[in-house]
Structure 1
Amino acid sequence: MDYGYMLGYWKRGAPADALETVQAAERLGFDSVWTAEAYGSDAFTPLAWWGASTSTIRLATGIAQLSARTPASTAMTAMTLDHLSGGRVILGLGVSGPQVVEGWYGQPFPKPLARTREYVAILRSIMARQAPVEAAGPQLPLPRTGEGTTGLGKPLMSTLHPLRPHIPIHLAAEGPRNTALAAEIADGWLPFLFSPANDAQARSLLAEGFAKRYASLPPAERFEVSVPVPIVVDADVEAAADRLRPMIALYVGGMGAKGANFHFDAVARLGFEAECLAIQEHYLAGRKEEAIAAVPTRLVDEIGLIGPAERIRDGLERWEESVVTRILVQGDRAALEAIAQLRA
């Protein structure tokens, strides 16, 4: 089991001690630091900033959103950062959801799996730099032709030579079909709101994708599964759970729309459908405190690690026996240090 540090995104500016914590994660032996984006802070800039003050820790987006950038822009950014960091980039990607894609980026949200497949294929072609890039589409044609164009576009090849011809691409996925897609076309899978209770289903879906895996990719044995695990070290288990309930309530109840919330679906599949319905009903009605209170401790326990260090140690055993290959610690400096001590 590898361990990384999940920083995510922020609302009121970067945490004051973020750089020091990233440097501490590197000293403590964590192999990667992961950032995210929704519709505020972006995923790449923090990695460039903190990466300049580190030397070995891998720099990973967890996740960069497909609709935020064209495939060419994403490839340029990843290749540039890979050069500057000495080959430390992991490119984590995700489709997000229709509310963000259409409401924030002003992009359509049809056939997200097909769009992901096209997007990743273009990235691979650009970063390999073997020939000018062409893509048939239909969602992401290169070069673009037809109505509304000048007709002057032509296939181009990156002027930047890659430091590495194969930057690892990991796909975020919560649903069955895109989980299988990750195993088919990517180097890793980034589940969210995952539990070791999902293990058998996850292995089955990944096996489905591995059966169709591209021959040009590293073998399935090297496929990585990296999952953010919220961790709170506290002698009081309920107090620890209280620190995570607002986050779970937000994703289950407030992200997406009723009937179109991938996070709701992921948690409901863990056997918490009734609880999810109650959380969502409260949240969408503006009763956030009631939504937070409706998150049961056993749900927090299912997707996170909470309580005193010895309880967290016991909980880690479930994760280490699962399909997960890397735990991304989602927590404060105390959580990082506790996990480092438990590993030692």
Structure 2
Amino acid sequence: MQRYGMTIPFDGLPLHAQREAIVELADRGYTDVWSSEADGADAFTPLALASVWAPTLRLGNAIVPAYTRGPATLAQCVASLADAAPGRVAIGIGSSSNVIVERWNDIPFEEPYKRVRDVVRFLRTALTGEKVKQAYDTFEVKGFKLGRVPEEQPKIMIAALREGMLRLAGREGDGAIINWLSADDVRQVAPIVHAEGEGKEVVARIFVAPTTDADTVRAMGRYAIAAYLNVPVYAAFHEWVGRGEVLAPMWDAWKAGDRKAALEAIPDEVVDQLIVHGSPEECREHIGRYVENGVTCPALAVLPFGLDPVQAARDLAPDQ
């Protein structure tokens, strides 16, 4: 079955007012809803609501940071969601970024590969109800035993950018969650995951603006791209996929403190590669290229570019 997801919650609506919109996603052919966690809603509450409102939808996190909850607390959060929606949960664990982890949460952003690996290994054990007494490389758990074990184990996905984490996702995760990349970049990324294990998922968080106002998308898209691609982990990823030369002027201006010049240095072609826009039909065709290149579940994220996100979800629905 081809999966097709939408990011929730929708911008502009309080959580308690989103029931009809989420039910409509299921009615229009969406198979998944995916949450994120940065400075808005947490990664679990929107999915808990959706688990009751739309019981056919799979519930995924894209992503939960590996640092910002202690291991035992994270296991409880994951187990509670999996217990509420048996067989419908895919937990995405990732390193997040130095901005969210260090600057916002005052937690050292150290050894991200090892931290993600250790959290995934801990969850694999803890979610079965086995008592955990283990010194991992990045933390130690001294005798935690989960008191509420889910009937069905959730999938555990790993957010991955470059080769090391992609291999980890294929080897120890149920697949990878990828982000801020073009459809063509998927050809470089997906095979690394699949080489580590058959049947692994590749979920892509795809930023979408279904509008033919290309000037607005490019102008506003530059702000979104600058906000992410100047974060070290994303900058390194885009160098790895071969976008270093075209993005170097933006990185140089940003490091010099000239934000205006940094925005102006982002070429239209980069915006068009990383943000899906155009008519709904053009957007669906572009999303289809991600799938053709190896994405098993597009997880769409409607950008707040003056669009009604609920109408955008209707326009992008797979049943159109």
* Alignment-mate amino acid for residue 66 of structure 1: A
- The structural deviation recorded for 1:161 is 2.8
Tell me by how many angstroms 1:94 deviates. Answer: 0.7
Q: Counterparts of 1:6 and 1:288 in 2: how far apart (Å)? A: 29
Q: CA deviation at 1:6?
A: 1.6
> Equivalent residue for 1:190?
177
- Residue aligning to 2:68: 68
Which residue of the partner structure matches residue 43 of structure 2?
43
| Aligned residues of 2:75 and 2:146 also touching (Cα < 8 A) | no
**TM-score, length-normalised on structure 2?**
0.86
Matching residue of 1:201: 188
What SS is found at the alignment partner of 1:83?
Answer: helix
Deviations 1:57-88 (A, max 9, x none): 12211111111112221111111122223443
| Structure 1 match to 2:25 | 25
Map of 1:134 onto structure 2: 133
Alpha-carbon contact 1:79-1:163 (below 8 Å) kept: no
- Asked if 1:92 is matched to 2:79, the reply is no
Q: Which runs of 5+ in 1 are unaligned?
A: 144-154, 211-219
Any idea what the Cα deviations from partners look like across 1:81-108, whole Å, max 9, x if unmatched? Answer: 2222344322111112234333333333
Q: How many angstroms apart in 2 are the aligned matches of 1:303 and 1:114?
A: 28
The reply on whether 1:303 has 2:274 as its aligned counterpart is: yes
Deviation at 1:39, TM superposition (A): 4.6
Question: 1:14: Cα distance to partner?
Answer: 4.5
Give the root-mean-square deviation of aligned CA atoms: 2.7
Residue 316 of structure 1 corresponds to which residue in structure 2?
287
What amino acid maps onto 2:73 in structure 1?
Answer: S
> How many angstroms does 1:142 deviate by?
2.2
The 3-state SS of whatever aligns with 1:196 is: coil
After TM superposition, the structure 1 = structure 2 runs for residues 1-344 of structure 1, keeping only pairs within 5 Å, are 1-7=2-8, 14=14, 18-39=18-39, 41-129=41-129, 131-143=130-142, 155-164=143-152, 166-210=153-197, 220-221=198-199, 223-253=200-230, 256=231, 261-285=232-256, 287-331=258-302, 332-340=309-317, 343-344=319-320
1 CA distance for matches of 2:180 and 2:206? 8
Q: CA offsets, 1:295-336, max 9 Å, x none?
A: 322112212321123432442342221111011111123332
- Give the conservation status (yes or no) of the 8 Å contact 1:230–1:244: no
Secondary structure in 1 matching 2:121 = helix
Alpha-carbon distance in structure 2 between the residues aligned to 1:232 and 1:190: 21
Give a deviation string over 1:261-308, Cα, whole Å, max 9, x none.
111222334443234233234445554444333332211221232112
With 104-113 and 118-127 compared, the bigger mean Cα shift is at 104-113
- CA distance in structure 2 between the partners assigned to 1:43 and 1:84 by the alignment: 15
**Contact 1:63-1:93 within 8 A present in 2 as well:** yes
Partner of 1:214: none
* SS of corresponding position for 1:142: strand
Distance 2:133 2:38 in 1: 30
Q: Distance in 2 between matches of 1:55 and 1:340?
A: 18
Preserved CA contact (<8 Å) 1:233 1:240 = no
Bigger radius of gyration among the two: 1
Aligned residue for 2:5, secondary structure, equals strand
The percentage of aligned residue pairs carrying the same residue is: 25
Cα distance, 1:156 vs structure 2: 4.0
How far is the alpha carbon of 1:40 from its aligned partner? 5.1
Q: State the distance in 2 between where 1:321 and 1:284 align.
A: 37
Distance 1:295 1:7, change over 3 A: farther
**Bigger CA drift: 177-186 or 87-96?**
87-96
The C-alpha deviation readout for 1:239-275, integer Å capped at 9, x for no partner, is: 333342221121113xx3xxxx111222334443234
Give distance in 2, aligned partners of 1:243 and 1:56.
Answer: 35
Q: Which residue of 2 aligns with 1:213?
A: none
Whole-angstrom CA distance in 1 between matches of 2:24 and 2:238: 32
Q: Taking structure 1 as reference, are residues 241 and 323 closer, same or farther at Cα in structure 2, changes over 3 Å only?
A: same
How far has the Cα of 1:340 moved from its partner? 1.8
Change (3 A) 1:71 1:239: same
In 2, Cα distance between the equivalents of 1:16 and 1:284?
41
